[in-house]
Homo-oligomer: A and B are copies of this chain.
Amino acid sequence: MKEAHFESVKTEGTSLPERTAEQISRLIVEQHLTSEDKLPSEFELAEQLHVGRGTVREGVKLLVARNVLEIRRGKGTYIARNPGEVPDPLGFAYYPDQVQLAMDLVEIRGQMEPWVARMAAERAAPEDLTELRETCLVVEQDILAERDHSKNDVLFHVAIAKCTHNLVVPKLIPIITYAITLFVALTKSRLRMETLVDHREIMEAICNRNPERAEEMMARHIAHNRAVLEEIVAGLKEQEGTPSD
């Protein structure tokens, strides 16, 4: 069953290095190579794929750029730890209207994350709860020390997602919480104490295996964020002199 896999989704490229990159990535999938595995040498790959070593080199560069392969200094080229996963996979950094993006993301969070918190309370293993408690504490320390807590805030939401034991949910959280950095910057310190209290309530509900309360507390947390974001957007619109209809 584990042998089943998809046809390669990367069919857009037609240059020779692009096709070579695709062949190498198929080889990684078919031979079940993992981050423990070193990529075969340029020479071997060139022989096997019937292309020149220069083409192999270009293909490898493409896969390094896409985080399928990684170069470990002094050791050679290996399969990446999370092959194919890239930071900002939907290109949010290039969206012209970042505030609209933040609003649309908080809408999705309001739908998904209470459900994630519920599943977390239902399914978490003891070691998941240990990680969750630790991550909650790290955010609290950031907040109390008035440091930027946005990175650890994302990790707290990822720790909840890991409790679900769904393979994909923890990968979606960094996407939909992309706006946290902007949000923390925009709201300045206004939500810091509210965040601390909300996080603690969510964490405790999950640790007490209370799915209803976990869901409710997460819904409240996102609603707090959304309300403050809407206030800020209204303020920005007023400053710009455009009607906030």
Contact = CB atoms under 8 A, between A and B. Distances in A.
A47 interface: no
A85 B175 CA distance: 12
A5 interface: yes
A67 B96 CA distance: 17
Chain A's interface size range is: 35 or more
A5 B65 contact: no
Interface stretch (A139-147, A166-174, A196-204): A166-174
Contact of A236 (B1, B66, B107, B237): B1
Given A108-B166, A111-B112, A90 B85 contact: yes
Contacts of A91: 67-68, 82-85
A149 B105 CA distance: 30
A211 to B, nearest CB: 14
Given A1-B237, A68-B91, 14 more contacts: A1-B99, A1-B236, A2-B98, A6-B93, A9-B87, A25-B93, A29-B93, A67-B91, A82-B91, A84-B88, A84-B93, A101-B167, A108-B169, A108-B172
A85 B91 CA distance: 5
Interface in A159-211: 166-169, 171-172, 175-176, 178, 181-182, 186
Contact of A100 (B12, B97, B104, B167): B167
A93 B84 CA distance: 8
A29 B96 CA distance: 8
Nearest to A63: B65
Contacts of A75: none
Contact of A98 (B6, B10, B87, B108): B6
Interface in A29-62: 29, 32, 34, 61-62
A12 B107 CA distance: 29
A16 interface: no
B94 A29 contact: yes
Nearest to A88: B9
A166 B104 CA distance: 6
14 contacts: A1-B236, A1-B240, A5-B182, A6-B98, A9-B87, A62-B65, A65-B65, A83-B91, A84-B89, A89-B89, A100-B167, A101-B167, A105-B168, A172-B172
